[in-house]
Amino acid sequence: MAPANGNPNHDHPLKSLSNTSDVSRRAFLGAAAGAVAISQSISAFGRDYGPNAEPVRYPDPDIVSLDPRFDKYKLGNTPIQRIHQGNLWAEGPAWNSVGRYLIWSDIPNDVQRRWINDDGHVSTFRQPVGNSNGNTFDYQGRQLSCEHGNRRLVRYEYDGKVTVLADQWQNKPLNAPNDVVVHPHDGSIWFTDPGYGSLMNYEGNKGELHLKEAVYRIDGQTGKMDIVTDEIFKPNGLCFSPDYRRLYIADTGSSHYPNAPKNIKVWDVVDNKKLANGREFTSMELDGKSGLADGIRADEDGNVWASAGWVGDGYDGVHIFAPNGDRIGMIRLPEICSNVCFGGPKRNRLFMTASQSVYAVYVETRGAHIS
């Protein structure tokens, strides 16, 4: 997702101290002390993630507990690491447990990239990819991708062929599928269609939206597609609860609809096929500022890990919500975070696509699902 109604510019409160030739030692130390005194909310912005950066003193200051309930998930001796940079808008991270690799989409560059767990090697996985956004894997190990540019949801088969799973609804082209998840009990595929890839040429092909933004389900046996809800302005990231009795969906509609709430909604899943009782799960407002949640994932305890952005330093990153919707923790990043997934051999590493970079951090929980 790229809510493209403007990227706010936030001036950093610290001036550069790199040129100190005309600054006395006393003044320099005073400025440094002032920098330390400024709220920790700026630390993510000022942090150096480069290859020659000094190591981070544990515990990592940008893994933040807001509630004692988050303490057991926060590791005191692990850092946030940047594992790749050089994207234009990184999205759609998905973990392949068999291959032990992470894939993600760089939407404007029309490429999928792969990070290999064994040695951290990054390579081009596929190109072109129809300006793909969200990715996941089904329970047969096949990759599913939401193609913005082609307005379709596809599956890559074992022989490399591409199967189009959905590209229209009631004889009208889809808006631009965005994110996708798979239900393990029946193999059904659930995806969102907010249309961001058709609102600009940067992330797809600009064109008219012919359908109301909605969430769809594809039956795992028959391939029949149905709308499960359109009671949301622009449905974006989505994930099931660990028991698959609830479906969470991030609403990013405020990017284009002034009256849209900045929140994550939740529905009850009925008979694995329908949604009922849609309601707000949590608001993205924090300390009087409200950004947008985008990609979301649940851990095995039912907490929801939501990418967050479009506010600025101290807010952008990942917000963690308890099963009742309380915000209990944050992972602050120096970039807008677009999406998240759990991966690694133990599924206890959180991967975060964040604008131009991909970050990773170990946590003391595991993802509730395979990707």
User: What region does 120 belong to: left with phi over 0, alpha with psi -120 to 50, or beta?
Assistant: left
Enter the pTM of the model: 0.89
Domain contains 21: no
User: What is the mean predicted confidence (pLDDT) over 47-55?
Assistant: 89
Domain contains 17: no
Task: Kindly state the helix (H) or strand (E) to which residue 169 belongs, with its residue range.
Answer: strand 168-169
Task: Kindly state the helix (H) or strand (E) to which residue 190 belongs, with its residue range.
Answer: strand 189-193
Calpha distance 7→311 (Å, rounded)? 9
Calpha distance 343→116 (Å, rounded)? 11
Which of the residue ranges 18-32, 165-179, 210-224 would you say has the lowest mean pLDDT? 18-32
Structure tokens at 124: 């081009």
Q: For the CA atoms of the chain, what is the radius of gyration? A: 20
Task: Specify the pLDDT at position 51.
Answer: 84
Comparing 16 with 130, which gets the higher pLDDT?
A: 130
Domain contains 268: yes
Task: Specify the pLDDT at position 184.
Answer: 95
Calpha distance 20→22 (Å, rounded)? 5
Domain contains 339: yes
Report phi then psi at 163, rounded to 5: -105, 125
pLDDT in tens, 209-251: 999 999 999 999 999 999 999 999 999 999 999 999 999 999 9
Range of the domain at 348: 63-362
CB 3 within 8 A of CB 255: yes
**Any idea what the CATH number is for the domain that residue 303 is in?**
2.120.10.30
Question: Which amino acid belongs to residue 321?
Answer: F
Calpha distance 273→188 (Å, rounded)? 8
- Average pLDDT across the chain, whole number: 90
- CA-nearest of 224, 251, 248, 216 to 369 is 248
Domain contains 23: no
Calpha distance 43→36 (Å, rounded)? 10
Calpha distance 137→265 (Å, rounded)? 24
pLDDT in tens, 253-273: 999 999 999 999 999 999 999
Task: Specify the pLDDT at position 58.
Answer: 97
Domain contains 290: yes
pLDDT band at 46 (very low <50, low <70, confident <90, very high): confident
Count the domains in the chain: 1
CB 304 within 8 A of CB 296: yes
Task: Specify the pLDDT at position 67.
Answer: 98
- CA-nearest of 347, 356, 363, 365 to 102 is 347
Task: Specify the pLDDT at position 43.
Answer: 53
Domain contains 25: no
pLDDT band at 371 (very low <50, low <70, confident <90, very high): confident
Domain contains 114: yes
- Considering the chain, what percentage of its residues have pLDDT values greater than 70? 88
Calpha distance 35→47 (Å, rounded)? 13
Task: Specify the pLDDT at position 2.
Answer: 53
Does 144 have pLDDT greater than 90? Answer: yes
DSSP assignment of 159-183 equals TS-EEEEESEETTEE-S----EEE-
Bridge-based pairing state of the strands 162-166 and 339-343: unpaired
User: What is the mean predicted confidence (pLDDT) over 64-90?
Assistant: 98
- Considering the chain, what percentage of its residues have pLDDT values greater than 90? 86
User: What is the mean predicted confidence (pLDDT) over 152-177?
Assistant: 98
Calpha distance 366→269 (Å, rounded)? 23
Task: Specify the pLDDT at position 72.
Answer: 98
